[in-house]
Amino acid sequence: MRHDHLITSKQLSREDIETVLDRAAEIAAEPEAVAGTYEGTLLGLLFYEPSTRTKMSFETAMKRLGGDVVDMGAVESSSVSKGETLADTVRVIEGYTDALVLRHPREGAATMASEFVDVPLINAGDGAGHHPTQTLLDLYTIRENAGLDDLTIGIMGDLKYGRTVHSLAYALTNFDTTQHFISPTSLQLPREVVYDLHQRGTSIKEHEDLAAVLETLDVLYVTRIQQERFPDKEEYRKVAGQYQIDVETLEAARDELTIMHPLPRVNEIAPEVDGTEYATYFEQAHNGIPVRMALLDLFLGETDE
């Protein structure tokens, strides 16, 4: 993989994706083979927005490889609260570390920050923009459970503000997939994303109702309504609570359906679904470790291809 930074999944070819997923599978099968190989390596964590899985799994991945992390901590306790710009902060922290992981509420922040640093910068979510490392662990999970070609996937929920959705939709255009997007009209995919997906020759359809497509799906990817991105909270209240699934909703599903969710969930998937064969979201979150170990290895390794 020859990239200086990882900013969006648009930059990833099928070959790039397969390189990461294959390496992740090797690491998952034999984690002891890489344990300790990055002793002395430091990863800088800059999270300007809340995170549990992404931040902790990057930290776990770096430590499992033998390295360590330095963490800016909460924005309120850092110099950001004194008015320091993102460009200045990343220029300082790159001098302390071998790579940076950045999450920021502003779309485009990772692209901008990457222009100021020479160490690899990995986008861990930029506003409603992109979240490419989530996509890589999503693709890993899809490949393990349903296969990536000849795939029919339904992506449901907040398609407008959901960055995991945007990143996944672009990445899937590298494979032979049909993508169904299910949301209220007000939370449809941004039109430029729809345009790009068409341009990339992928088959996409938009729906307001899951029942219209559920029985055809191999994978159902459910997402949270991104409350924090709504300019008008009244608009949020109108759509909150729509598109919830429970055991009854799933009566029409194929037995092989794989249900995914990037988490955190609020109430999109009833807890009663957790015990069914469909539920794959906790496995999906766990896959974040081998996938992020593989990514760090590819970005930090001396022999990265």
Q: Which residues bind ligand NCD (CB under 6 A)?
A: 53-54, 125, 131, 134, 163-164, 224, 262-263
Q: How far is the CB of 53 from ligand NCD (least distance, A)?
A: 5
Query: Which H, E and C letters describe 160-227, residue by residue?
Result: CCCHHHHHHHHHHCCCCEEEEEECCHHHCCCHHHHHHHHHCCCEEEEECCHHHCHHHCCEEEECCCCH
Which residue number, 38 or 281, has a Cβ lying nearer to ligand NCD? 281
| Token representation of residue 123 | 């986008």
Which residue number, 129 or 154, has a Cβ lying nearer to ligand NCD? 129
Q: How far is the CB of 262 from ligand NCD (least distance, A)?
A: 4
Which residue number, 23 or 131, has a Cβ lying nearer to ligand NCD? 131
Which residue number, 132 or 262, has a Cβ lying nearer to ligand NCD? 262
Nearest by Cα to 65 from 91, 99, 15, 110: 99
Alpha carbon separation from 129 to 104, 204, 206, 282, 288 (Å, rounded): 10, 20, 20, 24, 20
Q: How far is the CB of 137 from ligand NCD (least distance, A)?
A: 9
Residue type, 3: H
- φ and ψ at 44, to 5 degrees? -90, 130
CB atoms within 10 A of CB 22: 13
Which residue number, 86 or 225, has a Cβ lying nearer to ligand NCD? 225
Which residue number, 252 or 263, has a Cβ lying nearer to ligand NCD? 263
Which residue number, 54 or 89, has a Cβ lying nearer to ligand NCD? 54
Report whether 160 contacts 192 (CB < 8 A).
Answer: no
| Side-by-side strand order, sheet with 99-104 | 68-71, 42-47, 99-104, 121-126
Please confirm whether the linkage preceding 264 is cis (ω < 30° from 0).
Answer: yes
